Structure 1
Amino acid sequence: MASPEHPLLAAVRNSDTTAVAALLQEEYGTPHARGPHAAAALRLAADALDHRILDALLKLAGPDALDLDGVDADGRTPLLRAVDRGAYDIATALHFAGADPRVTDREGRDALALARHWHTIGTGAGIYRRTVRDGDGEICRELVIGGRTVRDGHTAILTHLEWCCGIATPFAELLDRAMTEPEVDHPVWGATVVAAAGRKGLALPPVWDAAAALRHHPDPLARYFGADVLRCVNLYDESGEDEESPFDTPLVDLFLPWAEQEKDPRVMRPLTAGLAGAMDPRAEGPLPALTRYPDAQVRSWAVGGLHWQVQQADPEALAAVLACTRDTDAQVREGACRALLRARTDDPAPCDALAACLSDSEEAVRVTAAVQLALRDDHRGDALLDALDGTVDRTSPYYWPLQDVWRHRQNQ
């Protein structure tokens, strides 16, 4: 009779993050946690392309227990297997956790070489692409090559690894890589934008000029790329708090007239995000109106940029945020709840709006509203937070907000 499967492996197969977290917290530091089960669980989650389980393992077990660079029976590490399958989210999670991209497979290819191999094949003729949904319901692409199915993430992985290895892929090539994918939420867009905007020193001004020149491009995808690169250049600027960012004023100079003329809602997303993150006071002007823009992602970026104005008791900004607590999009409502944290304490409207969100149809909005109420010393959300006590672990998105509440209460 076969031995029963270890509970951790069974929990991974069932995609049960709660059970995985409980088992790892119970066994961390024991022979089980240091032995083969955690490493086997990692390989199982990576092979299943289960990002939620993989994330739980990486957060709770630690790299030593997981044996990130351990070679399986096929001669590949989990990172190499993820690269081979084009699973961008899995590959980058493993890489950021410490997996070594220099380890080679039996053919002598490291992660970069393997990604380049599949990128070359995937951009060739005769490749069938199809759209599917992954285990989290996210839209992704698959390639069917000679009967073999892989994720359509090899170009994004290649771009990520080139950037991490210090390879300066030309701006025009990065733009071409992005524009082969019509959906701007595909990971290749994020990877190419980061690779362009992450240049340093003398290599950065030519990137700024090339991105700014795309403002007048007839293809909205090219304009999207240019706007996103520009806002990320400003976002990644490493000037200290006491230094004025060299890109802040030029970005606002570009984005204000651009946003007034832009008709494509996709392009408006990075334009709004750039204005929301700029320190130039002029950038605040269009944000209240943008909270009423038809595209939900634009509204979400706009409300996220109103924190300072709400804190300064700007009546137009506060009215816009209060209205966003009733938005049709849950992400916008959640962002509005966060923006109300620093509103004036002598005005009852912010707390009343947060209290109304305690009955929201989305749990994330309800919890965020309860957290903000608690941080404002309003106890109307305490019952909701108390009900979460003992059910939230480090894998939960509520873990750190609840820690903020706990610290706030301890300091009272």
Structure 2
Amino acid sequence: MDRTQLVAAVRRGDSEAVTALLEAGAVPDTVADDGLPVLCLAVAAYDTAVAWALVEGGADPDRKLPDGTTPLIRAIEGGSPAVAQAVLGREPRLRLPEAEREQLLALARHWYERGTEDELRGRTGDHGLAGQSRVMDDDYHHVTQLTLGGLTVRGGHGAILTRLEWAFRVLTPVDELVARAVAQREPDHVDWSSARWVLGERRSRETWSALTAYRHSPDPQHRLFVLDVLHWYLLFPSSSRNSYETETAELLVAWATDGEDDPGVLADVLRVLSETDHPKSPDVGLRYAGHPAPHVRAQVPHLLLSRDAPPRPLGAAARAALLVLAGDEDGAVRIEAGRALSAAHDGSSDFGDVLVGLLRDPVAGVRACVAEAVADGPDRSPAVADALVSLLDEDDFGTRLDAAYGLLRRDHPHTGEAIDRVGPLNHPGFEHDHRISACWTWKWEAAQQRSA
């Protein structure tokens, strides 16, 4: 096979074509015009998908290059955790001798401890200011990209070091991982997310104790990081034996009951607690229903709901609190109260009247979010249906779609007209939306009935 095809596919970042060419017999370590294997092209371009396709297809990440480096070393120096992880490959602890593993760890640690910009100055001899930009390293996490003296490097070496340590089964002290995470003070930074992921994998009593001790730290960022890891435990339980679901719920209830001075941290405590099934969650919610911070009050409605299937009826205090929160001065609080009211609706007129009021709220964002909840909700009253009809005149496509979908689910006689008023259903960004699919199905079935 002509090598130029693979080189061209790598250069244009076409990972699907790279995979297809490799499957058709292309050589994974094909050399480009610069004399380096194509994997180095992907590394230099920060093309994670292509790097992954090449390594999965047999490219050698440990191949010695003329300058004494390897593609893996270049990926580590490049500072992109996503690219480094792709090039690292599967089972690196088994593939790499201990001496090479230590070399890679030392390299990542050197870049991290010296700092990306200082290392760039040392390598280029340029003592000017580095150009900096914030870039997404994967779909969810960002990193700073620096350019100086003709070299471009990303500052994700802390995350690379964290991932390498775990891949090589080096149990880094919890204190060190926490320090790396909070150094950037941004939960969507690669250093934070990598430390969270590793601690989420390390489910031992020792790790749990060392991590949760930080809930008493005077630094709010430490406490937020603890909550992020605890939420990770709940989202991705590894097994019933070490899920820590019960321990997490108990800790969160104690945390909220003892009190938390920082409103941002408190809101996060309540948010994560709402993901658990603790019998005291409603009591915690009621405790904070009148909190002065709106982002704290916004977390209360879902704490008042039962997570049982079917859900337990709301108590009198919880009902009263939800109705008050539905009239809150803050729109975000009204939204969450509306969502909870829709989920807990028991057919009572007071709930129905409040939902209708929220569907007619003066703030468009409130109307939109409540419409989304009500569309799938159990309320079948004529008043709610009429409120949905009124939303068909909204400027927002999603709101109109929710209104039509809600009428469709209620088998409303004006469903066809409602779908027409939504506008063209091939709306950009909604290609795989279940509401669009339901509308197409309804129109097709209606046409079949007419032609029968």
What is the one-letter code of the residue matched to 2:111? W
Find 1:274's aligned residue among 257, 272, 275: 272
Larger CA deviation: 227-236 vs 157-166: 227-236
1:150 partner SS? strand
CA offset digits 1:323-348 (Å, max 9, x no partner): 799449xxx97x87875664226253
> Is 1:359 the equivalent of 2:396?
yes
Name the structure, 1 or 2, with higher relative contact order (CA <8 Å, separation 6+).
1
Tell me the distance in 2 between the aligned counterparts of 1:325 and 1:162: 50
Q: CA RMSD in A?
A: 5.9
1:202-217 matched pairs, under 5 angstroms: 202-214=205-217, 217=218
Q: Deviations over 1:185-235 (max 9, x none)?
A: 321112223333432233244135413222xx1x32223223323333444
C-alpha deviation, 1:173, in angstroms = 1.5
Q: Select between 84-93 and 279-288 the one with higher mean Cα deviation.
A: 279-288
- Corresponding residue for 1:134? 135
Equivalent residue number for residue 181 of structure 1: 184
CA distance in 2, matches of 1:63, 1:32: 13
1:257-297 alpha-carbon deviations (Å, 9 max, x no partner): 5776423x4x3564354134222365463799999539999
Query: What's the secondary structure of 2:133's corresponding residue?
Result: strand
Equivalent in the alignment of 1:122: 115
Supply the distance in 1 between the matched residues of 2:232 and 2:281 (Cα, whole angstroms): 16
> Deviation of residue 93 (structure 1)?
4.9
How far, CA to CA, are the matches of 2:374 and 2:146 in structure 1?
45
8 Å contact kept, 1:79–1:99: no
1:344 maps to: 378
Unaligned ranges ≥5, structure 1: 389-396
Match runs of 1:61-100 below 5 Å: 64-65=56-57, 67=59, 69=61, 71=63, 73=65, 78-93=71-86, 98=90, 100=92
Amino acid in structure 2 at the alignment position of 1:343: G
* Contact 1:358-1:370 at 8 Å conserved across structures: no
Show the counterpart of 2:8.
Answer: 9
- Mapping for residues 6-405 of structure 1, pairs under 5 Å: 6=5, 9=8, 13=12, 20=14, 24=17, 34-36=25-27, 44-50=41-47, 54=49, 64-65=56-57, 67=59, 69=61, 71=63, 73=65, 78-93=71-86, 98=90, 100=92, 108=100, 111-122=104-115, 131-134=132-135, 140-142=143-145, 148-214=151-217, 217=218, 219-238=219-238, 240=240, 245-257=245-257, 261-263=261-263, 265=264, 267=265, 270-280=268-278, 282-283=280-281, 285=285, 293=295, 310-313=342-345, 315=351, 326-327=364-365, 342-344=376-378, 346=380, 347-348=384-385, 359-360=396-397, 380=419, 386=426, 405=437
Overall identity of the aligned pairs, in %: 23
| 1:106-163 Cα distance to aligned partner (Å, 9 max, x none) | x945644432332233289787776413378986324678985421111111112223
Q: Within 1, Cα distance between the matches of 2:163 and 2:371?
A: 34
Kindly indicate whether the alpha-carbon contact (under 8 Å) linking 2:81 and 2:190 is maintained by their aligned counterparts in 1: yes
Contact 1:367 1:384 (8 Å CA) reproduced: no
Where 1:90 maps in the other structure, the secondary structure is: helix
Contact 1:211/1:230 (<8 A) preserved: no
Does structure 1 conserve the Cα–Cα contact (< 8 Å) formed by 2:199 and 2:229? yes
Residues 180 and 340 (structure 1 numbering): CA distance in 2 closer, same or farther, change over 3 Å? same
CA distance in 1, matches of 2:262, 2:235: 22
For the residue of structure 2 that corresponds to 1:246, the secondary structure is helix
CA distance in 1, matches of 2:72, 2:393: 46
Q: CA deviation at 1:399?
A: 7.7
In 2, Cα distance between the equivalents of 1:238 and 1:301?
A: 34
Counterpart residue type for residue 293 of structure 1: H
Contact kept? 1:68, 1:98, Cα under 8 Å: no
Distance 2:91 2:332 in 1: 34
State whether residues 196 and 229 of structure 1, in contact with CA within 8 Å, keep that contact through their aligned partners in structure 2: yes
Please give the alpha-carbon distance, in whole angstroms, between the structure 2 residues aligned to 1:180 and 1:144.
Answer: 22
- Residue by residue over 1:80-110, the C-alpha shift from the partner in whole angstroms, topping out at 9 and shown as x without a partner, is 4322211123333555x748476669x9456
Distance across 2 between alignment mates of 1:371 and 1:83: 51
* TM-score normalised by length of structure 2: 0.57
- Please give the alpha-carbon distance, in whole angstroms, between the structure 2 residues aligned to 1:6 and 1:159: 36
**TM-aligned CA distance change 1:370 to 1:402, over 3 Å:** farther
